[in-house]
Amino acid sequence: MRLIRVILPLATFLMILGGCSVSSVPRANIMATSLAEDPASLQLSLQNGCYANEPAESSFFLSNRTLEELTKGDVKDALILHAQLLWEPKPGSTPVDPTATNVVLRLVLITQGELGIYGGAGFAWPNGTSGKTAMSLNLVGSTLTLLHSTDGFRDLLSPFMMIGSIRAPLKPVETLRFRQSASQLVTDRLGETQWVNALPTASPTRSSDPWREALGWLQASSAGPRNVGG
């Protein structure tokens, strides 16, 4: 918790210093670090993506693969990050507890054809005007764990902390296509219908939908490394 207490004020300062102008070029620079006894790490550098302003949330999709590659569905290695910003804090007026959560996260990791879905939550400082301009998120202290995987998938991360930043242009139609392509990839690999959208529910649930389970996991919780993947 001490790390998160330090990161939150620093993230606030950096966001204010950076102003409100956000580049429309999609980008995600994130470090995932395992919290297990034998820690592993994974550097995420994602150059493709967009976001859409939806009822009660802003939904971001970032990937190291293009939308066209994901749509074809035959990728052997890929990273897909889905971030749902549920509410926006206001610097200077929103008290931020170290356990506060305002973003739901899912990470699809495909390596050598095997797939794993990680889900969890954390806190993010947004920049930009939701629904009008490109937006960025500074992720601080987000924690994820493995929810579902194919039989041959090796989980070297769970549970892990995710820290970094993402930015994306406002493209509602393209965001829907990213959602559909990611959903189809998960469905094809796991052998059952899945839907890449987790709407807020009153209480945690267990279902065949890993995206909804990720939100349930959020609500039920407070909220020398080696390289992984490849």
Instruction: Please give the average per-residue pLDDT across 154-160, as a whole number.
Output: 95
The 3-state secondary structure of 61-103 reads EEECCCHHHHHHCCCCCEEEEEEEECCCCCCCCCCCCCCCCCE
Q: Which pLDDT belongs to residue 16?
A: 44
Instruction: Please give the average per-residue pLDDT across 190-214, as a whole number.
Output: 47
Domain ranges for the chain, please list them: 2-224
Q: Which pLDDT belongs to residue 195?
A: 54
| Residues 81/61, Cβ–Cβ less than 8 Å | yes
Pairing of strands 103-111, 78-85: antiparallel
Q: What span, in angstroms and rounded, lies between the C-alpha atoms of 26 and 170?
A: 10
Query: If 0-12 CB within 10 Å is exposed, 13-18 middle and 19+ buried, where does residue 61 land?
Result: buried
Q: Which pLDDT belongs to residue 147?
A: 95
* pLDDT exceeds cutoff 60 at 148: yes
Q: Which pLDDT belongs to residue 56?
A: 83
Q: Which pLDDT belongs to residue 20?
A: 57
| Residues 176/160, Cβ–Cβ less than 8 Å | no
Q: Which pLDDT belongs to residue 15?
A: 45
Mean pLDDT of the residues in the chain: 80
Q: Which pLDDT belongs to residue 37?
A: 85
Residue 210, classed as helix, strand or coil, is: helix
Q: Which pLDDT belongs to residue 200?
A: 36
Q: Which pLDDT belongs to residue 94?
A: 61
Q: What span, in angstroms and rounded, lies between the C-alpha atoms of 5 and 24?
A: 30
DSSP state of 17: H
Q: Which pLDDT belongs to residue 208?
A: 41
Q: Which pLDDT belongs to residue 209?
A: 44
More confident: 196 or 2: 196
Six token digits for residue 115: 């797939």
Residue 215, classed as helix, strand or coil, is: helix
pLDDT in tens, 107-126: 999 999 999 999 999 999 99
Q: Which pLDDT belongs to residue 38?
A: 83
* pLDDT exceeds cutoff 90 at 45: yes
Q: What span, in angstroms and rounded, lies between the C-alpha atoms of 69 and 39?
A: 31
Q: Which pLDDT belongs to residue 150?
A: 96
